[in-house]
């Protein structure tokens, strides 16, 4: 896959989360209010290399952002991590899924209903 194609894909995912491409690619955990997922009542995690984007309903951003500070990308991107972060609000945690192409995984995602 060419660099231009990869950059375009990164830009699409960044826009999906309402972020600039550099912000989307920043290593670590980023908590954002639902952008393209507006109206969704769950939490959606998308891991891309060293970045983890956590999309939540807008009213949960501040609390989740504060609580996520104790996690690493690896520790949060797990069923146990999501359950620990969200506590009693968790109704169900979905399995990891990979979004991407055979030779170049674009990212992995998990979602939870709260």
Instruction: Please provide the distance, in angstroms rounded to a whole number, between the alpha carbons at the two ends of the chain.
Output: 37
Of residues 100 and 92, more confidence is placed in: 92
What pLDDT was estimated at residue 96? 55
User: Alpha-carbon dihedral of residues 61, 65, 71, 72, nearest 10 degrees?
Assistant: 90
Distance CA 98, CA 114 (A): 22
The answer to whether 34 and 55 have CB atoms below 8 angstroms apart is yes
Dist CA 17 CA 104 (whole Å):
21
Query: Strand 28-33 to strand 51-56: parallel, antiparallel, or no bridges (unpaired)?
Result: parallel
Instruction: State the pLDDT at residue 111.
Output: 54
pLDDT of residue 84 exceeding 70, the answer is yes
């Amino acid at each position: 896959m060419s660099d231009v194609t990869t950059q375009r894909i990164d830009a699409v995912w960044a826009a999906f989360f309402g972020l600039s491409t550099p912000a989307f690619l920043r290593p670590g955990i980023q908590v954002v209010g639902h952008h393209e997922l507006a109206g969704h009542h769950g939490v959606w995690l998308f891991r891309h290399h060293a970045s983890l984007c956590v999309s939540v309903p807008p009213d949960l951003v501040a609390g989740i952002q504060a609580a996520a500070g104790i996690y690493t990308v690896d520790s949060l991107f797990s069923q146990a991590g999501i359950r620990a972060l969200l506590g009693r609000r968790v109704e169900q945690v979905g399995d990891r899924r990979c979004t991407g192409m055979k030779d170049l995984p674009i990212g992995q995602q998990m979602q939870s209903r709260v």
